[in-house]
Amino acid sequence: MRASMISAALVAALVGYGSTIALVLAAAAALGATPAQTASWVLAICLSKAVGSAVLSAQSRVPVVLAWSTPGAALIAATSGIGMAEGVGAFVLAGLLVAATGLIGPLGRIVAKIPDGIAAGMLAGVLLPFCLKLAPAAVARPGLVLAMVAIFAVVRLKNPAFAVLAALAAGLAVAFASGAATLPALSLPLPRLTFIAPEWSPGVLIGLGVPLYLVTMASQNLPGFATLRAAGFEPPVRPALAVTGGLSALTGLFGAHTVSMAAITAAICLGPDVEPDRTRRWRVGLAYAAVWVGLGLSGPVILALLAALPADLMAALVALALLGPLTGALTGAFAAADQRFPAVVTLTVTASGMAAFGIGAAFWGLVAGLAVWALERAAARWRQGRAG
């Protein structure tokens, strides 16, 4: 294995972990996870990404790189009134739906019929409230947060993939240097998986499990497949969905949310600089898997370090990490003229955070957007009929 493969895998894994781990921790906190359950969540999802990347890369001879669902973590973090056991039930359902999409053709076609603008509007509504927390965090701790923003803005001009990681490094340096954070006593215990018996709450399954499946498919898996195609590889679509969905359903029982195809971090591993011989480039998936095993085993140390940081720093980091996905979601929401108003309806209902009948805002945003879209299409057909 070339050294370039190892370095690319290491960089991709560190970018993926460092830029969004704060969001995963926010999701765990929203479900009231205990420290043991949070540690299990991180370990399980790291191992899931490792196993899935290695198996799919070796099986398909394509460099398959997996990620955790960042929009899915944002969706979970935006929920309230849901316990960890109910969340686990939603994770398992979302994983099973992803696997079923790969195994059952008609289900995939049904999902594909959801207008892109409405799906993007739902994602934008999930992400927007987190991005809006950046300005209040800057007011609360201007020296700390503005330093992060400055580093983020400068690094993004040269390499957007490293911008959030650089902001995290700057935040750590300023926080510890200024005394806003103190270095915790670090130990090296091996993390453990904690089984969590799921609770099957219909409202949570519909309000969290189904939207988690949809955002994972629309904003992670589809762009991930497109990234592979853009690099000249034929993605193993059905095997990838079956494997990632099955792994997500299994690791959901240990607190982890869904894993999916990677897009941004995958691009780091797909170029000819990684391995000039395209037929051997799949081996980067094995190196990537090994790095994620190491990150999973290092979880207790990393989580203890992040727990010592100020809440405003973590809020700012999450906001900066989601600015890129929010930009993509808003662009998709308003790309098609005939879907713009339904997309706005979807966005506003989702961003409101409202819940009805025990079902969360993301589901109701999707329902509202689809209803408006269907009404507008029916009205357009009626006008065409009268004109004819």
Model confidence at 124: pLDDT above 80: yes
pLDDT above 70 for 21: yes
* pLDDT over 70 at 112, yes or no: no
Among residues 216, 241, 292, the alpha carbon closest in space to that of 9 is found at 292
pLDDT tens, position by position, 167-204: 888 988 888 888 887 777 766 678 889 999 999 999 99
Q: Which two tokens stand for residue 69?
A: 């669902």
* Long-range residue pairs from 202-206, CB within 8 A, at least 24 positions apart, any chain: 202/358, 203/357, 203/358, 203/359, 204/82, 204/86, 204/87, 204/89, 204/90, 204/358, 205/89, 205/90, 205/93, 206/359, 206/363
Task: Give me the mean pLDDT over the 90-115 stretch.
Answer: 84
The residues, ordered by sequence, that sit 6+ positions from 370 with a Cβ below 8 Å of its Cβ are 114, 115, 118, 342
pLDDT at 380: 86
Q: d(Cα 361, Cα 353) in Å, to the nearest integer?
A: 5
- pLDDT of 358 reads 67
Structure tokens at 343: 């997309």
Give me the half-sphere count of Cα atoms (radius 13 Å) on the Cβ side of residue 326. 18
- Whether the predicted pLDDT of 244 surpasses 90: yes
- Candidates 190, 188, 207; CA nearest to 89 is 207
Average pLDDT estimate for 229-245? 88
Query: What per-residue confidence (pLDDT) applies to 228?
Result: 83
* CA gap 52, 57 in Å, rounded: 8
Rounded Cα distance between 373 and 368, Å, is 9
pLDDT digits (tens, 9 = 90+) for 59-102: 999 999 999 998 899 899 988 889 999 999 999 999 999 999 98
Q: DSSP letter string over 147-160?
A: HHHHHHHHHHHH-H
At 107 the pLDDT is 65
Cα angle at 287 between 280 and 51, to 5 degrees?
A: 105
| Distance in angstroms between the alpha carbons of the first and the last residue of the chain | 67
pLDDT tens track for 315-363: 888 888 888 878 888 888 898 898 999 999 999 998 888 877 767 787 8
Q: Provide the percentage of residues in the chain whose pLDDT is more than 70.
A: 96
Cα distance between residue 204 and residue 212, in whole Å: 11
Q: Cα separation of 69 and 208, whole Å?
A: 14
Assign 233 a pLDDT band (cuts: 50, 70, 90): confident
Which pLDDT score, from 0 to 100, does residue 300 have? 84
What are 211's two structure tokens? 């939207």
Question: Distance (Å, rounded) from C-alpha 117 to C-alpha 350?
Answer: 14
Rounded to whole angstroms, the Cα distance separating 90 from 107 reads 18
φ, ψ (nearest 5 deg) of residue 100: -65, -35
Question: What is the full DSSP assignment across 187-234?
Answer: --PPP----------HHHIIIIIHHHHHHHIIIIIHHHHHHHHHTT--
- List, for residues 279-328, the tens digit of each pLDDT value: 898 999 999 999 999 999 988 888 888 778 888 888 888 888 888 878 88
pLDDT tens, residue by residue, 22-59: 889 999 999 999 999 999 999 999 999 999 999 999 99
Q: What is the pLDDT of residue 385?
A: 80
What percent of the chain shows pLDDT beyond 90?
A: 42
Could you give the 3-state DSSP secondary structure of residue 316?
helix
User: How many residues comprise the chain?
Assistant: 388
CA–CA separation, 243 vs 68, rounded Å?
14
Write down the pTM of the prediction: 0.79
